[in-house]
Amino acid sequence: MELIDLLIKIALIIVIFVISLVVAMYSTYAERKIAAFFQDRVGPNRAGPWGILQPLADGGKMFLKEEIIPTNATGFLFIVGPSLAILTACIGSAVIPWGQNLEIGGRVIPLQVTDINVGILYIFGVVSLGVYGIMIGGWASNNKYSLLGAIRAASQNISYEISMGLSIIALLMVTGTLSLGEIAKQQHGFWADGYFSWNVFKQPLGFLLFIVCAFAETNRSPFDLPECETELVGGYHTEYSSMKLGFYLFAEYINMFISSAVMATLYFGGYNFPFMDLIHSPNLVAILGVVALFIKIFMFIFFFMWVRWTLPRFRYDQLMDLGWKTLIPLAIANIVLTGIFMTFFK
Amino acid sequence: METQSLPINYLPIIFQMLVAIGFVVTTMFVTHKIGPKRKTKDKLTPFESGIEVVGNARTPASIKYFLVAILFVLFDVEVIFMYPWAVNFKDMGKTGMIEMFIFMATLLAGFIYVIKKKALDWD
């Protein structure tokens, strides 16, 4: 790797990092505005026009609050918990292809931090690490609510990870690769060889399973039992204050952004959009592709919020039954059906 | 068919981790420095809805959670076994499919046993 390539890489990493933080910040604003819309309220409207500076005000407040470490808590782990939560949320974006290659002055700039051939496994690894942040934080707090919330979160996350892993297998059979860059490339355009090229049309059941698991993995409603306020006060972050609380909340929104990006890439064509072959300038296609990907991501984020204000929360046994007794058999059936279909009808 | 990934392809991931660690450490340090510090004894007790704290929070949890964790380890390993098969599915044809279905049937038998044993029932 030449020095200039290295600098471009680092610039790209920092740009993506900042974008994911900004998207996460504005997701909090969007969530409150959308909640307000669904409940026929106005929502935040005091900080700046339409309350658009609200996330900055919230961030400033988080910075300036007193940080409290309870005397009973295990101090070191108490700090490690939220740090780990946000750290794992931030590194997932490394393998997502944000667009086609840009070409500036004869230099090809890939809009993907790195296209490793085990991209999906990397994403799964990072997702699995996420549970440590919650578990460590909840345990270190030495508070009954926190510990219960953390145990619930851990067992929920690991239960849904199995169905998530299984739901993706059928997709891998179709794509034949683990590299996210390659998967995005295969879904070129919108229509190819007499069928839709996006994977969602080849794996509708797989996508449904994946999105349910994504809701559970990000602890979003209706699976938000770890922080269910009617039973557990604040769940695993009951004892947290200041920026540590901010990190936990922020990690949730970054995870939502990353999982939306993963879903868009795996199932909804990533940066591909219909009629992209009609545009002849490759750079224009690349830029429009980035725009298309972000539109898809924002639609998924909106969907996350829409569901939150539509469905009530599950009970714990219902959650476990859904994960183990419904999603796993469905995912296995999906694999078997995909296998039979691909062997005998193609 | 697979693109080869060299160790250098993983270098950007390390950069990204460094950027993320830098962000986390700086933010933690800054909030620690600029936040007010007016601690009292009552403020530092664990929150228990306003009543006196009873005992230690680190009491044993339900055995069910442990069972779920053990089952997760088993099934997750099985799931990972299926990944290489899924990636090479197109090349292996019918034989590969039948072999994997036998594997999955064995897995399902274990799964049904677990459910029949009521290991995943919550009451």
A5-23, pLDDT tens digit by residue?
788 888 888 888 898 889 8
Cross-chain residue pair B13–A238, CB shorter than 8 Å: no
Range(s) of the domain holding residue A178: 57-345
A16 within a domain of the structure (yes/no)? no
Cross-chain residue pair B5–A169, CB shorter than 8 Å: no
Residue with tokens 């830029």: A287
Mean local confidence (pLDDT), A182-196: 79
Cross-chain residue pair B90–A176, CB shorter than 8 Å: yes
Cross-chain residue pair B79–A162, CB shorter than 8 Å: yes
Residue B1 — pLDDT band, cuts 50, 70, 90? very low
Cα separation, B69 vs B75, whole angstroms: 10
In a mutational test of the A interface, the residue from B42, B62, B70, B83 whose CB has the highest number of chain A CBs within 10 Å is: B83
Cross-chain residue pair A116–B5, CB shorter than 8 Å: yes
A42 within a domain of the structure (yes/no)? no
Residue A27 C-beta-side C-alpha neighbours within 13 Å: 27
The residue in chain B having the minimum alpha-carbon distance to the alpha carbon of residue A14 is B19
Mean local confidence (pLDDT), B41-52: 75
Whether this prediction's pTM lies above 0.80 is answered by: yes
Mean local confidence (pLDDT), A240-261: 88
A165 within a domain of the structure (yes/no)? yes
CB of A242 less than 8 A from some CB of B: yes
A322 within a domain of the structure (yes/no)? yes
Residue A151 — pLDDT band, cuts 50, 70, 90? confident
- Span B70-100, pLDDT tens digits: 888 888 888 888 888 888 888 887 888 888 8
Instruction: Give pLDDT, residue A2.
Output: 74
**Domain total in chain A:** 1
In a mutational test of the A interface, the residue from B63, B68, B117 whose CB has the highest number of chain A CBs within 10 Å is: B68
Nearest to B111 among A155, A176, A328 (CB): A328
ipTM of this predicted structure: 0.84
Q: Kindly tell me the burial class for residue A42, based on how many C-beta atoms sit within 10 Å of its own C-beta (0-12, 13-18, 19 or more).
A: exposed
Cross-chain residue pair B19–A332, CB shorter than 8 Å: no
Measuring CA to CA, how many Å separate A233 from each of A46, A230, A240?
28, 6, 12
Cα separation, A146 vs A159, whole angstroms: 20
Cα radius of gyration rounded to whole Å, chain A: 21
Domain B7-116 top-level CATH class: mainly alpha
Residue A201 — pLDDT band, cuts 50, 70, 90? confident
Segment 304-333 of chain A within 8 Å of chain B by CB? 316-317, 320-321, 324-325, 328-329, 332
CB of A112 less than 8 A from some CB of B: no
Cross-chain residue pair A317–B58, CB shorter than 8 Å: no
Nearest alpha-carbon partner for A269 in A296, A304, A299? A296
> Dihedral angle at the C-alpha atoms of A178, A179, A181, A183, nearest 10 degrees?
-20
Residue A337, both tokens: 């059906």
Residue A64 — pLDDT band, cuts 50, 70, 90? confident
Shortest CA gap A37–chain B (Å): 32
A50 within a domain of the structure (yes/no)? no
The residue in chain B having the minimum alpha-carbon distance to the alpha carbon of residue A1 is B8
Cα separation, A195 vs A59, whole angstroms: 47
Average pLDDT score, chain A: 85
CB of A129 less than 8 A from some CB of B: no
Lowest mean pLDDT among A77-86, A224-233, A265-274: A224-233
CB of A172 less than 8 A from some CB of B: yes
Provide the residue type at B49 as one letter. Answer: S
Segment 68-87 of chain B within 8 Å of chain A by CB? 68-69, 72, 75-76, 79-80, 82-83, 86-87
In a mutational test of the B interface, the residue from A1, A115, A162, A250 whose CB has the highest number of chain B CBs within 10 Å is: A162
Lowest mean pLDDT among A18-27, A186-195, A260-269, B66-75: A186-195
Instruction: Give pLDDT, residue A338.
Output: 87
